[in-house]
Structure 1
């Protein structure tokens, strides 16, 4: 004997069935442009509550934004020769500096008091003319202390 579960349906008039409720996305639709960047920022901040002193967060965000810009566009690579070594070859950047923007960024601890990560969401048009937004990049940092006792955040090479 096969037992089948019973399914009850409620009678409805044609055309009156309502679609299931779907929560709106906290992120803007792709291609929204600068107008959607604030919602991306709020989404990042809501997903990862702040856990660094404000001064550290500011320092990390400044460095993380500059690193992403250097990586994607080539602008400012000389500032980090250990991350972007001069190989003697011409490096053609993947993205134009004028068609690149950071949509949102946060800096948070990354496993300990001396480690942090900068999460960035960005948009850009590549050399082929393809625009993509909501791209994600992470830059990891460790706190280093100089011989004079000054503390700073040092970016780590990408692996």
Structure 2
């Protein structure tokens, strides 16, 4: 019927699978709406940088030596599950994880695996604890997966 509005997905719904880069902004908005910010901006920025680097290292094998506490076998050859060129982070948020000294970085990502299968809207969480360095600066330490 002309002039009848087309129903649209709720604003907080994630984009449909296979939407590509065009869906990334929707995925980010959906995360932010579902889980309101609760960390200071500097902490969130530090956590997001580390979370993205950890995910890239985990998925592609690139940069694992930077995280020996998470990837304890630096001398062992790693066959990456995803090629760097076929991997992208679609959305990411950092939030408290039960207390001010714990946080989680929630990432939504897409990639093509070694077998050629593309999947988007994958979800990975990295958990962190806050520590203080000898110089008194606070920093976030990633927790190994169990």
Question: Normalized against structure 1, the TM-score is what?
Answer: 0.83
Runs of 4+ residues over 4 Å off in structure 1: none
In 1, distance between residues paired with 2:25 and 2:8?
Answer: 19
Q: How many aligned positions are there?
A: 139
Post-superposition Cα deviations, 1:40-98, rounded to whole Å, max 9, x if no partner, equal 00000000000000000000000000000000000110101121122643210000000
Partner of 2:36: 49
In 1, distance between residues paired with 2:23 and 2:74?
Answer: 38
Partner of 2:9: 24
Listed as ranges, the gaps of 5+ residues in structure 1 are: 1-21
Q: How is 1:2-151 mapped onto 2 (pairs within 5 angstroms)?
A: 24-25=9-10, 26-86=13-73, 88-151=75-138
Post-superposition Cα deviations, 1:127-156, rounded to whole Å, max 9, x if no partner, equal 000000000000000000112211100000
Q: Secondary structure at the match of 1:93?
A: coil
Question: Normalized against structure 2, the TM-score is what?
Answer: 0.91
Compute the RMSD of aligned alpha carbons: 1.5
Which segment is superposed worse, 82-91 or 62-71? 82-91
Q: Is the 8 A contact 2:58 2:64 kept in 1?
A: yes
Listed as ranges, the gaps of 5+ residues in structure 2 are: 1-6
Q: Secondary structure at the match of 1:140?
A: strand
Q: Secondary structure at the match of 2:58?
A: helix
- Aligned-residue offset at 1:28: 1.6
In 2, distance between residues paired with 1:136 and 1:104?
Answer: 10
